[in-house]
Structure 1
Amino acid sequence: MALRLLQHRADNGTRSVIAADGDAAAFVPGATTIRALAEQAIAAGTDLATQVRSAGQGATVEVAAELAAGRLIAPIDHDEPSRILLAGTGLTHLGSAEGRDKMHRAAADKEALTDSMKMFLEGVEGGKPAAGEIGQQPEWFYKGDGSALRGPGETLEMPAFAQDGGEEPELAGIYLIGPDGTPHRIGLCLANEFSDHVTERHNYLWLAHSKLRQAALGAELLVGEPPEHIEGASRILRDGAVLWEKPFLSGEANMSHTLANLEQHHFKYAQFRRPGDIHVHFFGTATLSFADGIRTQVGDAFEIEAAPFTLPLRNPLTRAAEQPVTVKAL
């Protein structure tokens, strides 16, 4: 199996990094964060896997037990959360237009293609350009900064004003911008790109509002060449029982865009190439419980799992208290 990196926080707050390969896992000597390891690899002109190997091997560890104990945190963070940008692309997976089209069809001419379907078909036609070429640009959205990022086991909190809190099981690319402005993909994570689908369904122009929500990352950062095919399951648990479950697919074999094309159209903007920044980019999904008529409620739990990741991503759903906003003129 490919190398997976995890961030560990002991009960006393001490930070460490774990390297896992197959069923074997051990602490990386001297490493406290994955971001620091990536910075070292960039400075050394090497890759992350080589940097981890050069550090040697520390004490072995059972990652499933550490997850159960709550000691595994999101695999990327920053001392300044504002230096992390959360964004994503939609309508990128084969079949992903179906659920979106259902949401938007009622407001569209039944004889015409919705904007969602048009964008999806453009991606099918031009989202996988030949090497060295630039393909069709995808839908793009902003989710927030690092303050909205959650790790395994943490709650996903919808705002008091939210009309829905729905899961989006997918992959997220984690990037570090090098000192010269070069984006470096340091790995992929399982992710729940949590959204408000009721708000989005009301009017497609409210998509931007629906995406300004928290998001969760699984504990494992998959390092190296991304798998072509990833197959897993997404489920919602209510009162300890499975309310809804469905398989989901990702990886380029199941997408209408290449990762390189999605990356090109994100990092072509100079403001997204600021040295030292972290980017978490959600690559999209074709599987939504909302498209099957499911409405989540406080107390539900989302669960996402997929090989080659060995640990599930579980997050309970909650709702924030009312937070009245007053704008004062100066």
Structure 2
Amino acid sequence: MFLSQLHLPDGTRVVAKRQGETAHLVRGASGTRELALAAIEAGRSLADEVAFRGVGDPVDLPAALAQGRMLPPVDHIDPAHLHMTGTGLTHLGSASTRDAMHQKTDPEDLTDSMKMFRMGLEGGKPAAGQIGAQPEWFYKGNGYAAVAPGAALTSPGFALDAGEEPEIAGLYVIATDGRPFRLGFALANEFSDHVTERGNYLWLAHSKLRPASFGPEMLVGDLPAHIEGVSRVIRDGSTIWEKPFLSGEANMSHSLANLEHHHFKYALFRQPGDVHVHFFGTATLSFADGISTRPGDEFQIECTAFGLPLRNAITQDPNDAAPVAVAAL
């Protein structure tokens, strides 16, 4: 089952359920966050809450996406209470690209990236009830940096690169008693500045403070162990780069449970009502193949297991390259 959020042509905000080829509106639902909190309060699963409410009129999701009416599959009425975070070096093969970016002079001297990756290989999938190795973790931003499917990803004027990262994101809400609940999973583009990251590994945090997009649809249920998708960069109507990407636990050095524990172990991330979008990482980047994107290019991330493809164009804001002056009071 897939859930999505969108606006109808008259501006009404709705939630749609798709099972098979046809999507229908979920009765009495204007947001997946509220739907999830209602399910928790009633002691039901999200799927059971949808079944309890039932569905109404059919809705054309591809048309809504083409017309710019799709929203991220979960959001928050106060964008400051949606947290976008992620983990890197979590996928088999992900270390090679990062290692090349941060290579040391002595090939026998392992980079911090390779050391972190090995920690995951050796201890990222602990037995049930045990805690495994800590993954790399980073902050992307809050809901103000969440970009709707089909909308443009805007790179700041000071950015040195605007590169895609095709990933799977986990979508979560925190219950009133502080327990984190996973709503489902979505395709995601963890948009980053790889040139800045390559300049100095300690600039990784800067390179991740960029907008990101996820959706259009949310897969409700378990994450498939093996996921195959395709990532593309389109320029002037032609594909200039295309490559398959893999995800799912069968292709990862960490279990989802371990990644989730090391995020939600912080009480800061268990505040009632908050929404979390957590990016699980990737091993595939156009940047690793020498692609330099530019405004007007479009990213396309497709995987049939996650419904509609995620597409976002690139723009750049020329107005934020000047120094920021802070006024004293």
With structure 1 as the length reference, what TM-score do the two structures score?
0.97
Deviations, residues 271-315 of structure 1 (Å, cap 9, x unaligned): 110001001100000000001111111110000001212211000
Distance 2:326 2:67 in 1: 43
Answer yes or no: is the 8 Å Cα contact 1:20–1:26 preserved in 2: yes
SS of the residue aligned with 1:22?
Answer: coil
User: Within the alignment, does 1:309 sit opposite 2:306 as a pair?
Assistant: yes
- Structure 2 stretches lacking a partner, 5+ long: none
- Structure 1 stretches lacking a partner, 5+ long: none
Answer yes or no: is the 8 Å Cα contact 2:295–2:314 preserved in 1: yes
- Determine what percentage of the aligned residue pairs are the same residue: 61
How far residue 100 of structure 1 moved from its aligned partner, in angstroms, is 0.5
Deviations, residues 103-151 of structure 1 (Å, cap 9, x unaligned): 111x443221111011001101100001000000100000111000011
Q: Tell me which residue corresponds to 1:215.
A: 212
Deviations, residues 55-95 of structure 1 (Å, cap 9, x unaligned): 11201223222222222111111111000011000000000
Q: Tell me which residue corresponds to 2:243.
A: 246
Following superposition of structure 1 onto structure 2, how do residues 1-330 of structure 1 map, counting pairs within 5 Å? 3-105=1-103, 107-323=104-320, 324=322, 325-330=324-329
In structure 1, give the amino acid aligned to 2:148: G
Answer yes or no: is the 8 Å Cα contact 1:87–1:140 preserved in 2: yes
Distance 1:200 1:189 in 2: 25
Distance 1:126 1:59 in 2: 48
In structure 2, give the amino acid aligned to 1:125: E
In structure 1, give the amino acid aligned to 2:181: H
How far residue 176 of structure 1 moved from its aligned partner, in angstroms, is 0.2
In structure 1, give the amino acid aligned to 2:96: E
SS of the residue aligned with 1:60?
Answer: strand
How far residue 11 of structure 1 moved from its aligned partner, in angstroms, is 2.6
With structure 2 as the length reference, what TM-score do the two structures score?
0.98
Distance 2:16 2:102 in 1: 44
How far residue 33 of structure 1 moved from its aligned partner, in angstroms, is 0.5
Answer yes or no: is the 8 Å Cα contact 1:230–1:307 preserved in 2: no
Distance 1:108 1:60 in 2: 60
Answer yes or no: is the 8 Å Cα contact 2:2–2:307 preserved in 1: no
Q: For this pair of structures, how many residues does the alignment match? A: 327
How far residue 227 of structure 1 moved from its aligned partner, in angstroms, is 1.0
Runs ≥4 in structure 1, deviation > 4 angstroms?
none
Answer yes or no: is the 8 Å Cα contact 1:27–1:58 preserved in 2: yes
Distance 1:310 1:234 in 2: 15
How far residue 39 of structure 1 moved from its aligned partner, in angstroms, is 0.7
Answer yes or no: is the 8 Å Cα contact 1:190–1:217 preserved in 2: yes
Deviations, residues 170-217 of structure 1 (Å, cap 9, x unaligned): 001111000000000001010000000000000100000000000001
How far residue 8 of structure 1 moved from its aligned partner, in angstroms, is 1.4
Distance 2:307 2:260 in 1: 26
SS of the residue aligned with 2:35?
Answer: helix
SS of the residue aligned with 1:41?
Answer: helix
Distance 1:218 1:28 in 2: 18
Choose 22-31 or 38-47, whichever is displaced more.
22-31
Answer yes or no: is the 8 Å Cα contact 2:139–2:205 preserved in 1: yes
SS of the residue aligned with 1:201?
Answer: helix
Choose 279-288 or 304-313, whichever is displaced more.
304-313
Distance 1:142 1:291 in 2: 22
SS of the residue aligned with 2:6?
Answer: strand
